[in-house]
Structure 1
Amino acid sequence: MSTSIQYEKEWLHMAADGDELAFTHLFHAYKFKLYGFIARLTGSPDTAEDVVQDVFLKLWKERKSLREVDAFGSYLFRMAQNHAINGFRKMAREEVMRREISAGDLPAYSTPQSEIALKETREILHKAIQQLPPRQKAIYLLSREEGVKHEEIARRLRITTGTVKNHMIQALRTLREQLSQHPHSLEIILLPCLVFPFC
């Protein structure tokens, strides 16, 4: 067994026991390789940063399982790839429903009940958007209604891309909470939550 693999095994066992320094060693050993892999996969440096952070955060939360990992590199890259793919699926669902709610288009499984539900949902969403704090509202509308990328929003508003992301996260969380208070207007059109953006 090479020295690097031996160290890695030790770090995994130590991290599984809650050793933050050992976990930090694992993070620094793989963060750039993982970032490069995800950036090539997604074509987005911002997404790559998010995936790296999310994956290592999940690893730390589930650190006890690290003791059972044999090939950490393969395990880590597979985990990151799955995370990125799930992110693409979520964004696709979000885009489909955003367009349906904004334009009033009905899904293929439309019924009279779903038309009513969609109308109610659109009204609830519109009201919730209007109640967002001014900066969150502006960023949300630029992103979702006008399709402006985060980098361009940041340039227009003279803030960082990270700040744009944080405002979007907060806005989406608020909208999800508002919509969750009206389950009867959503249950028909969601079916098993195939296209709703905040699930």
Structure 2
Amino acid sequence: MDNCTSHKELLLGLNLGHEYAFEQVFKLHFGEICYFVEKLTGSPFVAEDIVATIFLKLWEKKPEFESLQKLKAYLFIVSRNASLDYLRAKRLHDHLHKNIRYTNSTFENGIERKIVRSEAFYLIYAEIKNLPRQVREIIRLSFVDGLSVPEIVNKLGLAYQTVQNQKSKGIKLLRKAIIKDNLISPLCL
């Protein structure tokens, strides 16, 4: 049998869905298509998976081809498209994975920062309770309630300078207590 006859028989057998013809086409083109896909994807394992899937779809769909050249062109086009789909999906996966890692580290840093901040505020509030009554009230109004010195003067009916002095005294006492008890690093104050 000459080559032309065997090609026609192979194509006819493939178009009719004969398993033997499919096996011959698989043996004839699998290695070549794998090499092509590997060059696109950079992975022999991915290439084999993609090409095996292409041949599986070829067997399941059983498209008809006019010639072996058109079959070969079909295999190369489908494998190129599948490789590009793989690369797009991989790029998206890598991008998402990178974002997830960044988000997790940012989230963890944010949570840790909030925990440390909460603990620091708790310790400071505990020390505020130990201040003398008037100093405690002025510190609370200033730092907890966010009132300005003139607003505190109006609220408590004290002289402006008294509020300023008591506020300064409260800050000094808090610093001293916090440093003495080693509650917060002196560098933070």
Higher relative contact order (CA 8 A, sep 6+): 1
TM-score interval (norm. to shorter) = 0.3 to 0.5
The answer to which structure has the higher helix fraction is: 2
TM-score (norm. length: structure 1): 0.45
What TM-score results when the alignment is normalised by the length of structure 2? 0.47
The structure having more radius of gyration, on CA atoms, is 2
